[in-house]
């Protein structure tokens, strides 16, 4: 997510970690505890919100000081692995739920079930807790999430006369395909799919059509199986690109931000993007550009989508787990969770925070996103060991070739399922 913008932060992160170290929190002779909190906030609003909350905690908790350490999404997995293996992990760890499985199974993260306060456990819905639950243990607190939405050029939509979807009456995938054809004209495509990283977008949107792909048996082992529901989204995209020519072929190799100039210039009527991309649109759009946020298409399972929320975890080796969880609870009080969500242009997981009126305004699509929150589910491969290898070595090239027209659906199924099951089997022996 936003890899291009985050790259610049990686060098600064490395320097910060060298200067401050990543060692677990410690105590002082005067009895005061120090907890290290590694944050991955990168946007100015988000960094400011996190640092301000740390400042507020320190002002009201003189015996438990929190030290803010800046991390980077670009390098977090490798950096954390190195710090875990070197017994230098931060006490409180900001990450994403789809990065936790190997750390949880590897014994690097604390099981939070006996440490979490009842307030926080009850406030966050079970479908969110499932994203950070592995083998029965809870290894992170999911606190921010983002659905995929359609960011559209309002003037093009109005001029076309097409029906405008709402969360109550979304487009079906069939209707979406038809409408992108209607929006396509001279020098303009109805949609641009930025699929440089195609796996997450395809699988998460596939839940709306009843897809799942990964299936856990009674013995706990996961296997891959691809049915018609799994093919709805891939077929729609392939048909838009290769048959209807309503989706820009060149966008298939782009990241989300790469499509924005085309959206602003009228080359694309719509772009499916993560909810947080609204900030880039708001800040980068030329004067007078009118845009709107629409729900992604719905299928047999309605508006269901897979998500991998941002999480806060505690290192297993931290000597101050109780205090670390108390700080997490402070960060995620409803009012504070709203501040963090608005700083990152994302949705809070907590029910109380999500009910905040400021997240239900029509301005910049907040209300559309909030209306989708109840349909968000754990991403299909959330707890699957071996998923990173399957994604990188099998699924990414297979989807790229399928969308480009180089292979057909039968070959896509063969690669994802047969080749994929061989990968997963090695991790489940």
What is the rounded distance in angstroms from the CA atom of residue 343 to the CA atom of residue 393? 35
Look at residue 172 and tell me whether its pLDDT is greater than 60.
yes
Of 29 and 267, the structure prediction assigns the larger pLDDT to: 267
Q: What is the dihedral of CA 236, 237, 242, 247, to 10 degrees?
A: 120
**In which band, very low, low, confident or very high, does the pLDDT at 381 lie, cut at 50, 70 and 90?**
confident
Whole-structure pTM value: 0.89
SS (H, E, C) the chain: CCHHHHHHHHHHHHHHHHHHCCCCCEECCCCCEEEEEEECCCCHHHHHHHHHHHHHHHHHCCCEEEEEEECCCCCHHHHHHHHHHCCCCCCEEEEEHHHCHHHHHCCCECCCCCCCCHHHHHHCCHHHHHHHEECCEECCEEEEECCEEEEEEHHHHHHHCCCCCCCCCCCEHHHHHHHHHHHCECCEECECCCCCCHHHHHHHHHHHHCCCCEEECCCCCEEECCCHHHHHHHHHHHHHHHHCCCECHHHHHCCHHHHHHHHHCCCECEEEEEHHHHHHHHHHCCCCCCEEEEECCEECCECCEEECCEEEEEECCCCCHHHHHHHHHHHCCHHHHHHHHHHHCCEECCHHHHCCHHHCCCHHHHHHHHHHHHHEEECCCCCCCCHHHHHHHHHHHHHHHHHHCCCCHHHHHHHHHHHHHHHHHHHCC
Could you read off the pLDDT of 97-116 as tens digits, one per residue?
989 988 999 999 999 999 99
Give me the residues paired with residue 273 across strands. 149
Tell me what pLDDT residue 428 has. Answer: 86
Q: How far apart are CA 268 and CA 145, in angstroms?
A: 26
Distance CA 239, CA 249 (A): 11
**Domain architecture of the chain: domains with CATH:** 3-145+308-373 (3.40.190.10), 148-295+385-427 (3.40.190.10)
Share of the chain above pLDDT 70, in %: 93
**CA 122 – CA 225 distance, rounded (Å):** 34
Q: Is the pLDDT of residue 382 over 90?
A: no
Q: Provide the pLDDT confidence category of residue 17 given band limits of 50, 70 and 90.
A: very low
Tens-digit pLDDT profile for residues 327-378: 999 999 999 999 999 999 999 999 999 999 999 999 999 999 999 999 999 9
Average pLDDT over the chain reads 92
Q: Name the band, by pLDDT with cuts 50, 70 and 90, for residue 162.
A: very high
Does the structure show a pLDDT above 80 at 10? no
* 28 band by pLDDT with thresholds 50, 70 and 90: low
């Amino acid at each position: 997510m936003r890899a291009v913008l985050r790259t610049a932060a990686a060098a600064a992160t490395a320097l910060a970690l060298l200067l401050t170290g990543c060692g677990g929190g410690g105590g002082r002779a005067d009895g005061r505890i120090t907890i290290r909190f590694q944050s991955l906030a990168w946007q100015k609003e988000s960094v400011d919100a996190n640092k301000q909350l740390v400042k507020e905690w320190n002002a009201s908790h003189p015996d438990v000081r929190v030290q803010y350490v800046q991390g980077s999404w670009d390098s977090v997995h490798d950096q954390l692995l190195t710090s875990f293996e070197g017994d230098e992990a931060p006490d409180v760890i900001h990450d994403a739920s789809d990065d936790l499985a190997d750390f949880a199974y590897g014994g690097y993260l604390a099981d939070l079930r006996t440490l979490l306060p009842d307030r926080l456990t009850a406030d966050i819905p079970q479908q969110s807790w499932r994203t950070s639950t592995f083998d029965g243990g809870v290894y992170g607190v999911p606190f921010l999430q983002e659905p995929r939405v359609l960011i559209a050029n309002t003037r093009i939509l109005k001029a076309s006369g097409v029906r405008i979807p709402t969360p109550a009456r979304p487009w079906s995938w069939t209707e979406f395909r038809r409408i992108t054809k209607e929006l396509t004209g001279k020098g303009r495509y109805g949609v641009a799919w930025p699929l440089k990283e195609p796996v997450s977008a395809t699988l998460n949107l596939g839940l709306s059509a009843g897809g799942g792909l990964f299936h856990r048996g009674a013995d706990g082992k996961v296997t891959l199986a691809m049915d018609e529901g799994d093919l709805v989204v891939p077929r729609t995209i392939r048909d838009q690109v290769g048959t209807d020519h309503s989706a820009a072929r060149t966008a298939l190799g782009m990241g989300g931000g790469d499509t924005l100039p085309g959206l602003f210039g009228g080359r694309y009527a719509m772009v499916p993007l993560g909810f947080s991309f609204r900030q880039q649109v708001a800040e980068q759009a030329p004067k007078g550009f009118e845009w709107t946020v629409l729900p992604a298409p719905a299928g047999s399972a309605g508006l269901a989508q897979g998500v991998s929320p941002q999480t806060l975890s505690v290192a297993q080796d931290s000597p101050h787990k109780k205090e670390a969880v108390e700080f997490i609870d402070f960060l995620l009080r409803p009012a504070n969770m709203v501040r963090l969500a608005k700083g990152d242009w994302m949705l809070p997981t907590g029910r109380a925070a999500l009910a905040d009126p400021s997240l239900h305004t029509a301005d910049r699509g907040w209300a559309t996103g909030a209306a989708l929150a109840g349909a968000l589910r754990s991403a299909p491969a959330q707890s699957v060991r071996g998923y990173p290898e399957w994604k990188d070595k099998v699924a990414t090239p297979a989807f790229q070739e399928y969308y480009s027209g180089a292979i057909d659906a039968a070959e896509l199924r063969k690669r994802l399922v047969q080749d994929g099951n061989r990968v997963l089997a090695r991790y489940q022996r």
